[in-house]
């Protein structure tokens, strides 16, 4: 444990030296001196002291004035002060206490009593400093936990979870669901150093996140090289389907520009979904329903570098996009549906 730092303030040198020697003999190894009130304030503002022993009767600036100045200074007012004086009048004691002094001792003082008082206030100061440090660490940990929660869950959901222990599932009727996958990623990853693959994939995902923010989509999760996002789910979007396709086309172009020139395929569907937080210890915000399944299946059958949407979702884009129908396509686990390849937006 570090030695407490004490400041002895007295205009009489013999008194300062005698008190300093007594304190050092009592085991206080860090004792500094100030010859007057102004010097004391200067020293106090230069470094941190655990306790001040302050004489009252001093020329120029007496102990009362020093104490009053300390109490209005937000950096100094928490430092405990023991007033030491030859005065033994009740009015002086009361005035010192009213000005914020922690204690009052009369000269000549009892060494054992002086040490007991100093030990008490030094311990209090240490406890207060430990408490402040603990609260600071607690706040830092809380901030770090909030940041971590914000990276694991969409920001909107993280805010709700911080105020409510549970988040009931909710149905949303006007949502565009987007799935994006890197074509041939597994084979590429097996032929390259892990550090290279990670850096390139991270750069690609970050570029996707930037595009999603720009188009008003929210990334729900990424699993390896696959990304899932929605428009119209967690934040208002006047035209979810148009925003999702615009983002998807930009993602295809971004993949070709980034890293090793990967190609991606994107599948999009539009309709109702149910969303909620799954898990009790490991939270995950997820969406489910036929719209989600259809978007995932459409992405899986797409050709590299294409954006495909369901035929019913294409109706949201009629007259505002250029596309080519792939005809009726049988999707895994679903009935046959029309799939349209969207090539450009108008």
Is 316 in the same domain as 250?
yes
At 104-131, the pLDDT tens digits run 888 777 778 888 888 888 787 777 777 8
Is 318 in the same domain as 210?
yes
Q: What is the pLDDT of residue 283?
A: 67
Is 182 in the same domain as 330?
yes
Domain boundary (77, 111, 134) is at 134
Mean pLDDT score, 246-272:
92
Q: What is the pLDDT of residue 166?
A: 59
For position 198, which CATH number holds? 3.30.70.1230
Mean pLDDT score, 303-331:
93
Q: Phi and psi at residue 11, in whole multiples of 5°? A: -80, -15
Most confidently modeled range among 216-225, 247-256, 272-281 = 247-256
Q: What is the pLDDT of residue 113?
A: 83
Domain boundary (134, 150, 176) is at 134
Q: What is the pLDDT of residue 206?
A: 93
Q: What is the pLDDT of residue 130?
A: 79
Q: What is the pLDDT of residue 112?
A: 80
Q: In this predicted structure, which of 79-88, 208-217, 292-301 has the lowest mean pLDDT?
A: 79-88
Whether residue 207 is contained in a domain is answered as: yes
Is 204 in the same domain as 324?
yes
pTM equals: 0.58
Is 110 in the same domain as 246?
no
- The residue that leads in pLDDT, 48 or 307, is 307
Domain span at residue 197?
A: 166-345
Q: What is the pLDDT of residue 167?
A: 64
At 152-185, the pLDDT tens digits run 555 666 565 565 655 677 888 999 999 999 999 9
Is 117 in the same domain as 187?
no
Whether residue 74 is contained in a domain is answered as: yes
For position 77, which CATH number holds? 3.40.50.2300
Is 118 in the same domain as 175?
no
Is 224 in the same domain as 321?
yes
Whether residue 143 is contained in a domain is answered as: no
Whether residue 146 is contained in a domain is answered as: no
Q: What is the pLDDT of residue 110?
A: 76
- Does 148 score more than 70 pLDDT? no
Mean pLDDT score, 284-313:
92
Is 271 in the same domain as 192?
yes
Whether residue 154 is contained in a domain is answered as: no
- Percent of the chain scored above 90 by pLDDT? 46
Whether residue 157 is contained in a domain is answered as: no
- Percent of the chain scored above 70 by pLDDT? 90
Whether residue 307 is contained in a domain is answered as: yes
Mean of the per-residue pLDDT values for the chain? 86
Is 199 in the same domain as 263?
yes
Q: What is the pLDDT of residue 221?
A: 87
**Domain count within the chain:** 2
Is 30 in the same domain as 107?
yes
Q: What is the pLDDT of residue 282?
A: 65
Is 107 in the same domain as 171?
no
Whether residue 197 is contained in a domain is answered as: yes
């Amino acid at each position: 444990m570090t030695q407490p730092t004490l400041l002895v303030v007295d205009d009489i040198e013999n008194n300062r030296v005698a008190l300093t020697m007594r304190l050092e003999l009592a085991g206080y190894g860090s004792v500094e001196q100030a010859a007057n009130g102004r010097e004391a304030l200067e020293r106090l503002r230069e470094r941190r002291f655990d306790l001040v022993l302050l004489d009252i009767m001093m020329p120029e600036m007496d102990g009362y004035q020093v104490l009053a100045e300390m109490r209005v200074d937000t950096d100094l007012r928490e430092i405990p002060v023991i007033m030491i004086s030859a005065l033994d009048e009740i009015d002086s004691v009361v005035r010192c206490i009213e000005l914020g002094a922690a204690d009052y001792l009369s000269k000549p003082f009892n060494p054992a009593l002086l040490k007991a008082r100093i030990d008490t206030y030094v311990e209090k100061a240490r406890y207060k400093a430990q408490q402040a440090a603990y609260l600071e660490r607690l706040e830092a940990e809380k901030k770090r936990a909030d940041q971590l929660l914000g990276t694991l869950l969409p920001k909107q959901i993280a805010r709700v979870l911080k105020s409510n222990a549970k988040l009931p599932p909710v149905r949303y009727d006007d949502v565009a669901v987007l799935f994006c996958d890197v074509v041939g990623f597994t084979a590429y990853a097996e032929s390259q150093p892990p550090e290279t693959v990670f850096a390139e994939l991270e750069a690609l995902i970050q570029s996707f996140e930037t595009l999603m923010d720009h188009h008003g989509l929210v990334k729900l999760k990424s699993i390896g090289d696959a990304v899932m996002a929605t428009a119209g789910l967690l934040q208002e979007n006047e035209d979810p389907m148009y925003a999702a396709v615009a983002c998807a086309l930009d993602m295809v172009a971004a993949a070709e520009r980034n890293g090793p020139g990967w190609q991606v395929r994107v599948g999009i569907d539009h309709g109702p979904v149910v969303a909620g937080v799954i898990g009790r210890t490991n939270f995950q915000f997820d969406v489910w329903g036929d719209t989600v399944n259809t978007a995932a299946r459409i992405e899986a059958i797409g050709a590299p570098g294409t954006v495909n949407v369901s035929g019913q979702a294409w109706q949201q884009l009629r007259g505002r996009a250029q596309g080519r129908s792939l005809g009726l396509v049988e999707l895994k686990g679903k009935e046959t549906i029309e799939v349209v390849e969207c090539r450009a937006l108008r």
